[in-house]
Structure formats: structure tokens, C-alpha cells
């Protein structure tokens, strides 16, 4: 599960990254709204965590504007503003959860995990390509009805490829999706995972190399 944190306090942002990565999340971080907007354009997230008051403005207005455009990623707001009206506004204008500072990291991790499980409305529960079926909710993959045992990274790479059937997916996009922004795109970790996936999926081959770009999935 991939999470975006937008927090201008350097120490808190670093602590949030450590806590969520230790809990098994892929984490990207932004210090302000323009950086967050760029990350949201490039990557797909299961949850976004926003400090409300940021140098570029109130994140509540930013999220509300994106909700008006149809954006559906679950959002957790972090804030020192704890009045009832603030909490109501946070939920009314696009937030899914609202956590008042100071808070326990264990509680934040639990809330983020809950929001990730909820996922954006309308996300396909099951992806299919040829005779392969990927059930994201149950973390289950079958081919021709046979259950496959995949690692977390193998599952994520396959999930990203199956979300774009027949179309090339770049190496950078696959690495960003299955790891996080700290991963080195020049390393061979992706090639190793794809090789393992090909072996587990068996014949006929479904994952094809697109030279100079990345990979695609299709018959």
C-alpha cells in the first residue's frame, strides 16, 4: 500500500515516514502542496496524509478542490485545530479521517491502514488479463484457476501491469508503485521480480519486455 505524506515540519515528516515504512507501507513525502500536487499527478496512492496548515495554504481547500474534480483517494488530516467545527469542516470538505496533534504513531498507522483498506470508490476489486485473475482485496492471484504464491513485490508489479493491459508501463512507474521514491531506478530489483513473476505465471508468457521503456502484460 502506497501513502503520500504532506507535512512541513521536517522532524514530524521524517518520523511519519519511519513509522509507516516500518509498518510495511511504501511512503512518499512532500513538504508543501505544490510538491504534493506533482506527486499525485505522477503516482497512484492508497491514502494521503495532509497536515492542514501548510506554507502554501490550508490543505483542506486543496483536497476539497480535488474532490470537486472527482479525486477519490482516502485522506487523513493532521492538525492542532481541535474544535468541533474544525473536525466537521475537515470531514465535510473531503477528509475521511481527522487526527489531532499530538497523537500516538501507532494510532496514525492503524488509521492509515484502515483508510487504505477502504480504497477509492469505484476501484476494480478484481483485475483480469487472459486467464490471470488478481483479487486486490484478498491479495490473491490465480492463473487458469490455479492459486499462485507471490511475494508482496511480485504482487504489486503484477497489479500495476494488469491495471494497464496491453500498454507499456515504464520501469520508473513500476519501481515507484512497488517500492517508493527512495528506490534506485538503475538497480536490477525490478528485473529480478519480473523474472520471478514470469517463472510463476508459466507458459504461455504474458509479461513482455518493451525495449527502452519497461514491460507490458498481454497475450
Q: How confident is the prediction for the chain on average, in pLDDT?
A: 86
pLDDT in tens, 173-189: 888 777 765 555 556 88
pLDDT at 183: 56
pLDDT at 187: 67
pLDDT at 34: 94
Task: Output the CA torsion 152→158→163→164 (10° steps).
Answer: 150
pLDDT at 122: 45
List, for the chain, all residue ranges whose pLDDT scores fall below the cut of 70: 119-125, 137, 180-187
Q: Which cell is 143 given?
A: 492463473
Which regions of the chain does DSSP assign to beta strands (E)? Answer: 2-6, 26-30, 47-51, 53-54, 57-58, 75-79, 97-100, 126-129, 132-135, 140-143, 146-148, 169-170, 207-210, 214-217
pLDDT at 59: 92
pLDDT at 117: 77
pTM above 0.95, yes or no: no
pLDDT at 125: 65
pLDDT at 126: 83
Amino acid at each position: 500500500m502506497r501513502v503520500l505524506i504532506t507535512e512541513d515540519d521536517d522532524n514530524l515528516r521524517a518520523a511519519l515516514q519511519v513509522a509507516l515504512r516500518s509498518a510495511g507501507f511504501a511512503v512518499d513525502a512532500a513538504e508543501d502542496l505544490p510538491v504534493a500536487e506533482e506527486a499525485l499527478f505522477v503516482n497512484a496512492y492508497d491514502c494521503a496524509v495532509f497536515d492542514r496548515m501548510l506554507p502554501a495554504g490550508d490543505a483542506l481547500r486543496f483536497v476539497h478542490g480535488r474532490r470537486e474534480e472527482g479525486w477519490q483517494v482516502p485522506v487523513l488530516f493532521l492538525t492542532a485545530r481541535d474544535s468541533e467545527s474544525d473536525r466537521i469542516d475537515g470531514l465535510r470538505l473531503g477528509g475521511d479521517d481527522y487526527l489531532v496533534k499530538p497523537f500516538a504513531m501507532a494510532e496514525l498507522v492503524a488509521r492509515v491502514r484502515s483508510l487504505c483498506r477502504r480504497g477509492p470508490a469505484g476501484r476494480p476489486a478484481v483485475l483480469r488479463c487472459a486467464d490471470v485473475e488478481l483479487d486486490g482485496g484478498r491479495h490473491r492471484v490465480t492463473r487458469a484457476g490455479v492459486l499462485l504464491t507471490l511475494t508482496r513485490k511480485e504482487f504489486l508489479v503484477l497489479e500495476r501491469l494488469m491495471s494497464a493491459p496491453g500498454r507499456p508501463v515504464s520501469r520508473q512507474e513500476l519501481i515507484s508503485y512497488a517500492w517508493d521514491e527512495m528506490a534506485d531506478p538503475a538497480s536490477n530489483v525490478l528485473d529480478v521480480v519480473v523474472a520471478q513473476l514470469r517463472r510463476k505465471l508459466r507458459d504461455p508468457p504474458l509479461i513482455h519486455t518493451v525495449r527502452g521503456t519497461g514491460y507490458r502484460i498481454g497475450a
